[in-house]
């Protein structure tokens, strides 16, 4: 039996709903507040980049790809002056654990964790800098956090491949956000959280217009085709962990995690543009 990119995407999306809790749960931001770094999204940059160690802002700009350099530099390296990377990572886990247990309770996830960890065992680090850094981090002990951590590894592995797909498509960070926002209905979210100025956003839109990828109505057919190609390449590059797990066990993992995913979607933790995709 063959794991197709479409099936791999479905499996990723199921776990992703639990993983992105770490970006939106108020308990996570509250955990970051103890470090008192006023820069916008300081906790996000610090926690997600913590596996790199006390890195320079340039590494975050490069690997996170779609964030404005000035936004990153306002937070990094100030976050490392406030606390070491391990403390930021621990704060994120603490906040995530609180939200997961509040929403999901104490489900028996032993089988799901076993399957998710087996998928992660099939991931390889070459060309995947964020995944490679996180693959060296010790797994948490809490079973729900183990499931979340598996989602983290699979997400960062996929995300590294997504950057490769964006570069191959000739989409710079702003162009990636404009087209991706139009394709997913997340324009307001990405425009207000990625740090680009109105002038930079407008210039990126004009570059896309000149390529025939957007018009006054949004994405043109060429633009939709290009975004479809980006997602196709991303899906293809993200298959290896799921192929290692195998189709039968992949379906079982989806079956086990789907009720948890639905409870998280119903909890109001995630923004509407994510919930609407469920």
How would DSSP label each residue in 134-199?
HHTSPPPSSHHHHHHHHHHHHHHHHHHHHHHHHHHTT--HHHHHHHHHHHHT-HHHHHHHS---HH
Question: 77 preceded by cis ω (within 30°)?
Answer: yes
**Pick from 44, 45, 46, 39: nearest CA to 29:** 44
- Give 249-275 pLDDT, tens digit per residue: 999 999 999 999 999 999 999 988 776
Whether 117 has a pLDDT exceeding 80, the answer reads yes
Mean pLDDT of the chain: 96
- Give 206-235 pLDDT, tens digit per residue: 999 999 999 999 999 999 999 999 999 999
Whether 278 has a pLDDT exceeding 50, the answer reads no
- Give 56-75 pLDDT, tens digit per residue: 999 999 999 999 999 999 99
Q: What percent of the chain has pLDDT over 70?
A: 98
Q: Per the confidence metrics, is the pTM higher than 0.75? A: yes
Q: What angle do CA 200, 202, 207 make, to 5 degrees?
A: 95
Whether 181 has a pLDDT exceeding 90, the answer reads yes
**Where do runs of H (alpha helix) occur along the chain?**
5-19, 21-24, 26-33, 42-49, 57-64, 69-75, 78-82, 85-104, 110-121, 129-135, 143-168, 173-184, 187-193, 198-210, 221-237, 240-245, 247-266, 272-275
Whether 22 has a pLDDT exceeding 70, the answer reads yes
Annotated domain spans of the chain: 5-269
Whether 178 has a pLDDT exceeding 80, the answer reads yes
């Amino acid at each position: 039996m063959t794991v197709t990119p479409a099936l791999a995407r479905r499996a990723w999306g199921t776990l992703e709903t639990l993983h992105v809790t770490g970006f939106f749960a108020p308990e996570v931001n509250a955990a970051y507040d103890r470090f008192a770094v006023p820069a916008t999204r300081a906790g996000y940059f610090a926690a997600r980049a913590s596996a790199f160690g006390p890195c320079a802002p340039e590494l975050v700009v490069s690997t996170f790809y779609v964030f404005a350099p000035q936004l990153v530099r306002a937070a990094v390296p100030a976050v490392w002056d406030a606390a070491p990377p391990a403390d930021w990572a621990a704060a994120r886990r603490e906040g995530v654990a609180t939200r997961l247990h509040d929403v999901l309770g104490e489900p028996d996830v032993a089988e799901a964790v076993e399957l998710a960890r087996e998928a992660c065992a099939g991931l390889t680090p070459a060309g995947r800098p964020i995944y490679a850094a996180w693959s060296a981090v010790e797994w948490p002990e809490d079973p729900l956090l183990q499931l979340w951590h598996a989602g983290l590894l699979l997400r960062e592995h996929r995300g590294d491949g997504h950057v490769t797909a964006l570069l191959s498509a000739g989409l710079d960070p702003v162009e990636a956000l404009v087209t991706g926002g139009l394709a997913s209905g997340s324009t307001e979210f990405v425009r207000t959280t990625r740090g680009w100025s109105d002038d930079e956003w407008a210039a990126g839109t004009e570059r896309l217009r000149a390529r025939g990828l957007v018009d006054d109505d949004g994405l043109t057919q060429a633009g939709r085709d290009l975004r479809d190609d980006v997602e196709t390449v991303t899906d293809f590059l993200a298959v290896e962990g799921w192929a290692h797990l195998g189709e039968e066990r992949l379906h079982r993992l989806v079956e086990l995690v789907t009720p948890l995913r639905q409870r998280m979607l119903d909890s109001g933790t995630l923004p509407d543009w994510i919930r609407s995709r469920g």
